[in-house]
Amino acid sequence: MRNLSLMTDLYELTMMNGYSVLGSAEKTAVFDLFFRQQGQISYAVAAGLAQAIEYIDNLHFDEEDIKYLKEAAGFNDKFLSELRSFKFTGDIFAVPEGTLVFPNEPIVIVRAPLSQAQLIEPALLNIINHQTLIATKASRVKKSAGNASVSEFGLRRAQGPDAGIYGARASIIGGCGGTSNVLAGQLFDIPIKGTMAHSWVMSFDSELEAFRKFAEIYPDNTLLLVDTYDTLRSGVPNAIKVFDELKSRGKKPVGIRLDSGDLAYLSKKARKMLDDAGHKDAIIFASCDLDEYVISSLNEQGARIDAYGVGTRLITSESMPSLGGVYKLAELTENGVRIPKIKISDTHDKITNPGFKTLYRVYDGDGKAFADLISLDDEIYDGTKPLTLTHPTMRWKSTTLDVYSMRKLLVPVYKNGQRVYDPPALSESAKYAEREKASFWDEYMRNVNPEIYKVDLSDGLYELKSRLIAEHTGGRA
Amino acid sequence: MRNLSLMTDLYELTMMNGYSVLGSAEKTAVFDLFFRQQGQISYAVAAGLAQAIEYIDNLHFDEEDIKYLKEAAGFNDKFLSELRSFKFTGDIFAVPEGTLVFPNEPIVIVRAPLSQAQLIEPALLNIINHQTLIATKASRVKKSAGNASVSEFGLRRAQGPDAGIYGARASIIGGCGGTSNVLAGQLFDIPIKGTMAHSWVMSFDSELEAFRKFAEIYPDNTLLLVDTYDTLRSGVPNAIKVFDELKSRGKKPVGIRLDSGDLAYLSKKARKMLDDAGHKDAIIFASCDLDEYVISSLNEQGARIDAYGVGTRLITSESMPSLGGVYKLAELTENGVRIPKIKISDTHDKITNPGFKTLYRVYDGDGKAFADLISLDDEIYDGTKPLTLTHPTMRWKSTTLDVYSMRKLLVPVYKNGQRVYDPPALSESAKYAEREKASFWDEYMRNVNPEIYKVDLSDGLYELKSRLIAEHTGGRA
């Protein structure tokens, strides 16, 4: 793990230096990390917590860092000396990786001395924004692919090494079954996938020889790339020849890969050619500028594709390349008094939710997720009384549930700077994400025009928010 | 530097293992790295070579890597033992960082034993694709900003730590003047920039107190964020009060920052308020969902903005989040004979350029870039005869230059595995990029509907390509 402690925005350190001068660095602050409704996103698959934890666990400033900050930013010696012994001493609550999350609800809450909470803002956002974005995109792609498997193939187009490595990781949480990225495979125990490149085929005198040699070396793993010259007139016939030869040696061919052209047409034609030649078990693997929309279109056209390799548009989340997560002050303790904070905006849905909060998922009598509920931390829900959920802004719209259950989504990760949570293995988070998705009605999960899942405010939070809005708009400034 | 040697796609190793079995791993191969015309890109600013060099210099496989490859991929012992002593022994040619480059021309050429050239494909593409993408986006943003300075502010929305760190680096090559990312500042000696967050303002009892305290601590660096409550009724008047106080103490206020709302309207109103109060020197710094298009629109509206902080849309290149660079086999040496290779495609402009090549920039009599010329490496241009440039596909369109000069764009970076090039300091690459841009007519550089710069093929290359196309389409397969 590299030391990312300086991976913060200058203004965080500028403010920390200021708080140090003013003696307010130790005031306890509460910050919420959440994302807002944007673009095509109806839900997100939370990811990145394991790397956020590595970052927090490794926070420290070397003498070289201190020297740099003195020269480049001119901070005062008292502050720089405080950085020398910097240690995170606060609390962090977060939803486990793989949790389905929705706009405006806190997915990470940091309660820590103000300075510390500021320092970690950019790195926390960077890590959680990125991996949640890619896990979400992977989930959308897998949704379109249905029973076909999806592998992440985007390393060469990822936005730098980490985007390739952690993007591969996040795609597994989102629903991919493997990655082409060997380093990600090694680091996170992900199945690694791959076939051959066009350059393999081009490095032999003929396509048939290229296929034959591959089958000789990998008799149990013969997946042949058939589009180097002419898919249907050369690639598939040559593949069939080699599959016949494999079979005669008692081996089972894996299948073919299409990487260009009209995948719907080619897959249907190739399927028939393979079937007619007695290779009904040979799979068709497809890649080439895929995403959830292209795959849905292929399905509509009756394409015969068993497995997908998805690259650029997955690893960059091309249709929406940032999640837009934010980190907003919700409470500040002054002279022992906890003061809830709100950020007012001209846009109603950009007004923040004040106070130290928690997040519940409410399930209906069928055990399906019904709504999420953001409440103040000290409001008590014991599950014994009927539960009335109200629309976050239109309070007259409400629903009362007699039979329901509730689950706290945020788990303690740090308590007074001590880590109290171990992230599960990646494969466990992927399984958990699958269970999460199964607990939602399909209407919320579809990729186009989904039903909007309700995220409601508790009575206590609603009243607090209304009071603070009134205070601010009634004369402040 | 982390060991990224395993950061490759599985199929590269699968092919390497195959070449090892077949004894063809040592055949010399030539691969070209280039990008194709896509979307809004008319030119790109090459970046990332310094990190590509770090990667190549660090290539090696630990025992742990070997063990992983044996278990996860089942490669044979001979190949794994070769990896143990792996060292890059080939040649690499590349355009220096900051060079303006165009679709279809090679910006990196690798001439190396086939296996080695395959191994490094994904990492080279990843690094060059990413940084070139962000440098290009930064150049476009800076183009719109004109004389206003641009700082990179996107860390929190970048696609992982590297995307933040190397994205900041690339944005400097592209034309940004600084970054908010302190780690990038430290690593690459980039000016670091920043002001205060809304949370600073919210952590005081009033906005005025927040501004006053900031000015006390940073009397020489007072840039105040004025949009926490109400920009024109509260933020700017409070900033003016504090600026008056600063001036009375003999200090010079820096200015204000707008981070929300209608930046055109607010900047014009704020400019007038500042001017009327005698703070004509106070600058207006703007941020909030900016990119080259928004900045052009602000200019059209007569916005009064002196400096921009550009975040999400720059650091993710939101309007086009991948460059789409590819790496294609161009030549393979068999039994001592160099055999040019071509990849045919149904789409004419996807057919590759065969052979071991070089790249010239041709300047006209005014010293302005006139066209680029891709030639075979052994074609000789001595600059003494008039030069006829022909359109890459329409040979009947040609231009003859009597007065011209030519420059080789690709420089040797590795020679037989020895590094023969030291990347310049980042600030030098940034200056070189500025000179590069100045050497092009503005018509090629505009962001919307630019004139397309010509990239022509030499006679030798054109003839070779035509011959290989005829061979392939005349019966192959």
Chain A residues closer than 8 Å to B126 by CB: 155-158, 160-161, 164
Nearest Cα residue in chain B from A25: B203
Q: Are B24 and A203 in contact (CB under 8 A)?
A: yes
Q: Are A171 and A152 in contact (CB under 8 A)?
A: yes
Which of A2, A5, A10, A171 best tests the B interface by mutation, with the highest count of B CBs <10 A? A10
Q: DSSP string covering B93-151, please?
A: EEPPTT-EE-TTS-SEEEEEEHHHHHHTHHHHHHHHHHHHHHHHHHHHHHHHHTTSEEE
Which residue among B11, B65, B129 places its CB closest to the CB of A196? Answer: B11
Q: Taken in order B167, B169, B175, B176, is the CA torsion positive or negative?
A: positive
Which of A66, A115, A120, A156 best tests the B interface by mutation, with the highest count of B CBs <10 A? A156
pLDDT at A311: 97
Spell out the residues 6+ positions from residue A179 whose beta carbon is closer than 8 angstroms to its own.
A151, A152, A153, A168, A171, A172, A185, A190, A191, A192, A193
State how far the Cα of B311 lies from the Cα of B333, in Å rounded to an integer: 47
| CB-neighbour burial class of residue A364 (10 A; exposed 0-12, middle 13-18, buried 19+) | middle
Nearest Cα residue in chain A from B22: A213
Tens of pLDDT along chain B (477 residues) come to 688 999 999 999 999 999 999 999 889 999 999 999 887 788 999 999 999 999 999 999 999 999 999 999 999 999 999 999 999 999 999 999 999 999 999 999 999 999 999 999 999 999 999 999 999 999 999 999 999 999 999 999 999 999 999 999 999 999 999 999 999 999 999 999 998 999 999 999 999 999 999 999 999 999 999 999 899 999 999 999 999 999 999 999 999 999 999 999 999 999 999 999 999 999 999 999 999 999 999 999 999 999 999 999 999 999 999 999 999 999 999 889 999 999 887 777 789 999 999 999 999 999 999 999 999 999 999 888 999 998 777 778 889 999 999 999 999 999 999 999 999 999 999 999 999 999 999 999 999 999 999 999 999 999 999 999 998 877 443
What are the helix (H) ranges across A106-160?
114-119, 121-145
Which residue among B68, B126, B332 places its CB closest to the CB of A156? Answer: B126
Look up residue B47 and give its two tokens. Answer: 């970046």
State how far the Cα of A322 lies from the Cα of B316, in Å rounded to an integer: 7
Nearest-Cα distance to chain A for B130, in Å, is 5
Which of A126, A187, A332, A334 best tests the B interface by mutation, with the highest count of B CBs <10 A? A126
Look up residue A272 and give its two tokens. Answer: 């028939």
**Residue B288 CB neighbour total at 10 angstroms:** 17
Chain A residues closer than 8 Å to B477 by CB: 207, 229-230, 233-234
Spell out the residues 6+ positions from residue B7 whose beta carbon is closer than 8 angstroms to its own.
A155, A161, A164, A165, A181, A182, A183, B122, B123, B126
* Identity of the residue numbered B149: S
Which of A13, A159, A234 best tests the B interface by mutation, with the highest count of B CBs <10 A? A159
State how far the Cα of A227 lies from the Cα of A198, in Å rounded to an integer: 8
A162 to B163: CB separation less than 8 angstroms, yes or no:
yes
pLDDT at B40: 73
B329 to A27: CB separation less than 8 angstroms, yes or no:
no
A229 to B476: CB separation less than 8 angstroms, yes or no:
yes
State how far the Cα of A369 lies from the Cα of A373, in Å rounded to an integer: 11
Size of interface A-B (CB pairs under 8 A): 311
Which of B2, B51, B124, B157 best tests the A interface by mutation, with the highest count of A CBs <10 A? B157
State how far the Cα of B445 lies from the Cα of B449, in Å rounded to an integer: 10
Nearest-Cα distance to chain B for A301, in Å, is 22
Which residue among A18, A126, A229 places its CB closest to the CB of B160? Answer: A126
A185 to B233: CB separation less than 8 angstroms, yes or no:
no
Nearest Cα residue in chain A from B76: A217
**Residue A284 CB neighbour total at 10 angstroms:** 24
Look up residue A155 and give its two tokens. Answer: 């390393």
**Residue B368 CB neighbour total at 10 angstroms:** 12
Residues B163-204 have pLDDT tens digits of 999 999 999 999 999 999 999 999 999 999 998 999 999 999
State how far the Cα of A306 lies from the Cα of A350, in Å rounded to an integer: 43
State how far the Cα of A102 lies from the Cα of A123, in Å rounded to an integer: 21
Look up residue A318 and give its two tokens. Answer: 């091309």
Nearest-Cα distance to chain B for A113, in Å, is 12
A156 to B325: CB separation less than 8 angstroms, yes or no:
yes
State how far the Cα of A319 lies from the Cα of A470, in Å rounded to an integer: 39
Nearest-Cα distance to chain A for B443, in Å, is 29
State how far the Cα of A129 lies from the Cα of B471, in Å rounded to an integer: 51
Return the DSSP state at B159.
Answer: S
| CB-neighbour burial class of residue B219 (10 A; exposed 0-12, middle 13-18, buried 19+) | middle
Nearest Cα residue in chain A from B67: A186
A29 to B202: CB separation less than 8 angstroms, yes or no:
no
Residues B122-131 have pLDDT tens digits of 999 999 999 9
State how far the Cα of B444 lies from the Cα of B45, in Å rounded to an integer: 13
Return the DSSP state at B408.
Answer: E
State how far the Cα of A101 lies from the Cα of A95, in Å rounded to an integer: 8
State how far the Cα of A82 lies from the Cα of A13, in Å rounded to an integer: 12
**Closest CA relative to residue B255, chosen from B282, B279, B236:** B282
Q: Are A284 and A304 in contact (CB under 8 A)?
A: yes
SS (HEC) of A410-468: CEEEEECCEECCCCCCHHHHHHHHHHHHHCCCHHHHCCCCCCCCCEEECHHHHHHHHHH
pLDDT at A476: 45
Q: Write down the architecture of domain A135-315 according to CATH.
A: Alpha-Beta Barrel (3.20)
**Residue B297 CB neighbour total at 10 angstroms:** 13
Which residue among B18, B322, B341 places its CB closest to the CB of A312? Answer: B322
Q: DSSP string covering A374-415, please?
A: EEETT----S-S-EEEE-SS-TT-EEEESS-EEEE--EEEEE
Nearest-Cα distance to chain A for B212, in Å, is 12
Does the structure's ipTM exceed the value 0.85? yes
A160 to B155: CB separation less than 8 angstroms, yes or no:
no
Nearest-Cα distance to chain B for A233, in Å, is 7
Nearest-Cα distance to chain B for A246, in Å, is 17
Segments making up each domain of chain A, as ranges: 135-315
Cα A276 to its chain centre, rounded Å, is 43
State how far the Cα of A380 lies from the Cα of A375, in Å rounded to an integer: 9
Chain A residues closer than 8 Å to B75 by CB: none
Nearest Cα residue in chain A from B11: A194
Q: Which residues of chain A have pLDDT under 70?
A: 1, 475-477
Chain B residues closer than 8 Å to A112 by CB: none
Rounded to two decimals, the pTM is 0.97
Return the DSSP state at B231.
Answer: I
Q: Dihedral angle at the C-alpha atoms of A168, A169, A173, A174, nearest 10 degrees?
A: -20
Nearest-Cα distance to chain B for A386, in Å, is 38
